[in-house]
C-alpha cells in the first residue's frame, strides 16, 4: 500500500509540475507581448494549454491503465492457484469420507460375524457381504481377520490424505 501511495503522490506531483510549467511558460510569453487583447485569442490559449497538457495527462492515464492490468493479472493467477488448492483439499476430504465408510462396512461385518460366533447353541452360520456362507467358527474367525486386515490400509490411506491436506494448508 505504501508503494501505491508513493506512486500516486509522484504522479500527481509530475502532473501538477507539468500544469504549472505550461501556465508559467504562457504567462511569461504573455508578459513579453500583449497578445490577449482580443477575446478570440483565448481560444488560442486554450488550444495551447490543451495541446501541451493532454499528452502528459494521457501518459499518466496509460501508466495507471497498465499498472491496473498487471495487478489484476497477478490477482487472477493467485486466485486460480487458490481455487486449485481448495479443489484438491475437497477431493482429499471426499476420499477420507469414502475410507471411513469402508471402515464402517468392515466393522459391521466383523460385528456380524462376532455375533454369529457368540450366539447361543454352538454358533450359527454367517453370510458375508460377498455372499459366501461361513459355517464353522474357524471360517468365521478367518473372515473376521480378513476384515480387520482391510481396515489397516484404509487407516493408512486416511493418514496419507491428512498429511497431504496439511501440506497444502501451509
Which pLDDT belongs to residue 109? Answer: 93
What the block records as the C-alpha cell of 19 is: 500544469
Mean pLDDT by groups of 10 residues along the chain of 170 residues: 76 82 73 62 75 84 89 92 92 95 94 86 79 88 93 94 89
Which pLDDT belongs to residue 60? Answer: 83
Which pLDDT belongs to residue 169? Answer: 81
Q: Which CA distances in Å does 149 have to 33, 41, 73, 96, 157?
A: 103, 99, 51, 18, 13
What the block records as the C-alpha cell of 30 is: 504573455
Which pLDDT belongs to residue 76? Answer: 93
133, β-bridge pairs = 127
Which pLDDT belongs to residue 163? Answer: 94
Question: Is 109 within 8 Å of 128 (Cβ atoms)?
Answer: yes
Which pLDDT belongs to residue 149? Answer: 95
Q: Which CA distances in Å does 155 have to 18, 76, 88, 159?
A: 71, 38, 20, 6
The total of structural domains in the chain comes to 1
pTM above 0.85, yes or no: no
Which pLDDT belongs to residue 110? Answer: 92
Signed CA dihedral, 150, 156, 162, 168: sign only = negative
The alpha carbon torsion through 32, 35, 37, 39 (nearest 10 deg) reads: -140
The residue range of the domain holding 28 is 2-169
Looking at residue 34, the DSSP 8-state letter turns out to be -
Q: How far is it, in rounded angstroms, from Cα 20 to Cα 150?
A: 82
Which pLDDT belongs to residue 1? Answer: 56
Q: How far is it, in rounded angstroms, from Cα 103 to Cα 155?
A: 8
Q: How far is it, in rounded angstroms, from Cα 65 to Cα 53?
A: 18
Amino acid at each position: 500500500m505504501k508503494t501505491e501511495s508513493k506512486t500516486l503522490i509522484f504522479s500527481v506531483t509530475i502532473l501538477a509540475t507539468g500544469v504549472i510549467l505550461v501556465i508559467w511558460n504562457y504567462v511569461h510569453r504573455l508578459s513579453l507581448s500583449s497578445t490577449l487583447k482580443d477575446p478570440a485569442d483565448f481560444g488560442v490559449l486554450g488550444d495551447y494549454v490543451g495541446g501541451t497538457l493532454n499528452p502528459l495527462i494521457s501518459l499518466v492515464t496509460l501508466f495507471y491503465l497498465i499498472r491496473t492490468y498487471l495487478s489484476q493479472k497477478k490477482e487472477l493467477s493467485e486466485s486460480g492457484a487458490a481455487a486449485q488448492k481448495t479443489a484438491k483439499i475437497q477431493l482429499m476430504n471426499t476420499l477420507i469420507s469414502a475410507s471411513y465408510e469402508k471402515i464402517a462396512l468392515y466393522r459391521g461385518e466383523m460385528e456380524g460375524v462376532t455375533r454369529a460366533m457368540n450366539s447361543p447353541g454352538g454358533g450359527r452360520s454367517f453370510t458375508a457381504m460377498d455372499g459366501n456362507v461361513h459355517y464353522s467358527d474357524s471360517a468365521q474367525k478367518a473372515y473376521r481377520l480378513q476384515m480387520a486386515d482391510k481396515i489397516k490400509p484404509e487407516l493408512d490411506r486416511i493418514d496419507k490424505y491428512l498429511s497431504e491436506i496439511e501440506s497444502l494448508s501451509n
